[in-house]
Amino acid sequence: MRRRFTPISWPRRDPRHYRFAIPNAVWEYQLRPAEFVIFSYLCYHSSTSEPTLKEIATGPHMTTDTMKKYLDSLRAKKLIGEDSTPVLKSKDKKFFTLPNEVFLLRLSPSAFVVYAYLLLIEDRRTHTCHPSYNTIAMATGLAKNTAMKSINTLLEIELIAVESSSYFDKRGMKWKGNNLYTILPVRAAVDTLHQRQLRQLELNAERRCTLRRQEKYDRRHPRVAPCATAVAEAASNPS
């Protein structure tokens, strides 16, 4: 009997280990983008011990004063408790998930909430969706121009791919349809961000090295101002 050997490869990651859940009901509260980011981070942090105000501010990259203001607003809406843990309860118990790495990308609050909305409505099999800009703006509470800029931000950092679409009406006329958005693996976006940061560090190191060489050269070869040279020549050759 022939044995079948399983090829050696990296173990597959369990999605439950690197994603966190957010109740669908949170969209009914029409949170401001910053409030949505904070609530999402608290959902991500809810599996650990009770976070301090400084720890909460570190995740969304906000100041403690700004964080305290939004936490008070979330408590007033009864979305979180006094210990800053999410207490939102929904009857249908439906939820969507976000990747843990999303907080490493330092997205703006508007880009974060647009990304979350695309994950909410995506087809779980194909990871695609095709909402209009007006639909995105209405669902997230953003202006249409802000929603369009947020889409461009997500496209630049390779969190999504965008394809234009078109359709024909009953008279055979061709019209432009909604964009088709494909949600890309977040790991690739994180790797791209790290490569950019590494390249920036290399450029900064080269710039500091160049400045040090320039300073060393200037100390060995001091420059004389042109006006000072002219004055010295005039003094040595009086007319």
Return the number of other C-beta atoms located less than 10 Å from residue 11's C-beta: 5
Residue whose tokens read 């009857």: 91
> pLDDT tens digit string along 194-236?
777 778 888 888 888 888 888 887 788 877 655 555 555 555 6
Beta strands in the chain (DSSP E): 19-23, 95-99, 128-129, 160-163, 166-168, 174-176, 180-183
Strand partners, 183: 160
| This prediction's pTM | 0.76
DSSP 106: T
* Structure tokens that stand for 13 in this block: 């990651």
> pLDDT tens digit string along 84-139?
888 887 777 889 999 999 988 989 999 999 999 999 999 999 999 999 999 999 99
pLDDT, position 9:
39
Res. 15 pLDDT band, cuts 50 70 90: very low
Q: What mean pLDDT comes out for the span 168-185?
A: 85
pLDDT, position 187:
87
Cα four-point dihedral sign 113, 108, 76, 95? positive
> pLDDT tens digit string along 70-79?
999 999 999 9
pLDDT at 13 over 60: no
